[in-house]
A = this chain, B = another copy of it.
């Protein structure tokens, strides 16, 4: 007599997950054939293919990644590496947007994202050891400052990687995806001038970051276009933080009280600048038109709502993942520059 089928799985702990062996037995083929089906079903007869798929469904078989990874010498995983002091990035809304986009894009390939941070020397060592050991197939790198020590380490270990934003001082040796910072800045400054402003100041980002450099260059190029002489007293520098933007705007207001427009190199800094202007009794956009950069969520909650330059974060993350997977597959992929978009709200 046969026992009644147990409800669910038996009481004993040892639920052994079905293996390729079990599938082969049920399907009545060899393990090699099962594996071939798993690899895409090439060189497998329709009958075998169907039998194997049925067995897989019946058993609820899922490949054991460790076994597969061991033999293929791949990890089928990718690291998302933050190389700045953690504080900075975790407060930056651009970061979470990017992280979310990369997670989603990798998810579609069924590739998990390992989040790693390398903020201090101890972490850096641990991460390099981990990555150099080949525990991931590639690295999505988030680092903006020149002279990042991690990049050298990763290059030496010949780990596929793609950076978000152009890594300064690498002379084209590392692939990257970036928004067109310079054109975006130019669009904004043209918009400011075309709306009738004549004393356009700017809060630039750090000059050891690509965004800091390029957005300032865009500002200067448009001044040239319109035959406006560049004036040192109309530029101040911030560190991309809200407080930094506020202080830079204070300095600008002191050095050039007559300014009637302000291009700020990030939304977070623009939010700070808005506070400074408010304190100084200047209305926006009445007295001073203000333009930001990023189109971060914060741009919608400032008052007035911020006119800004939209960075295409969704596409940036998608392209980063595409480039990295191509690189892992052995293809050489060119760097990608994505267009920005001027978003006009109330502040300018």
**Chain A contacts to B: CB under 8 angstroms:** 17, 62-67, 69-70, 75, 77, 80, 86, 90-91, 93, 95-97, 99-100, 103-104, 107, 110, 112-117, 123, 126, 129-130, 132-135, 242, 275, 297, 301, 303
Contact = CB atoms under 8 A, between A and B. Distances in A.
A100 B113 contact: no
Contacts of A242: 301
Contacts of A123: 107
Nearest to A133: B62
A65 B130 CA distance: 10
Interface residues of chain A: helix, strand, loop or mixed (majority): helix
Contacts of A97: 90
Given A64-B70, A115-B113, A99 B103 contact: no
B114 A100 contact: no
A103 B126 contact: no
A34 to B, nearest CB: 16
A75 B66 CA distance: 8
Given A112-B114, A114-B115, 20 more contacts: A17-B133, A17-B134, A62-B133, A63-B133, A66-B66, A66-B70, A70-B70, A80-B115, A86-B100, A90-B97, A91-B297, A103-B115, A103-B117, A107-B117, A110-B126, A110-B130, A112-B130, A113-B114, A113-B115, A114-B114
Contacts of A91: 93, 96, 297
Contact of A104 (B114, B117, B130, B303): B117
A64 B104 CA distance: 28
Nearest to A268: B301
A99 B115 contact: yes
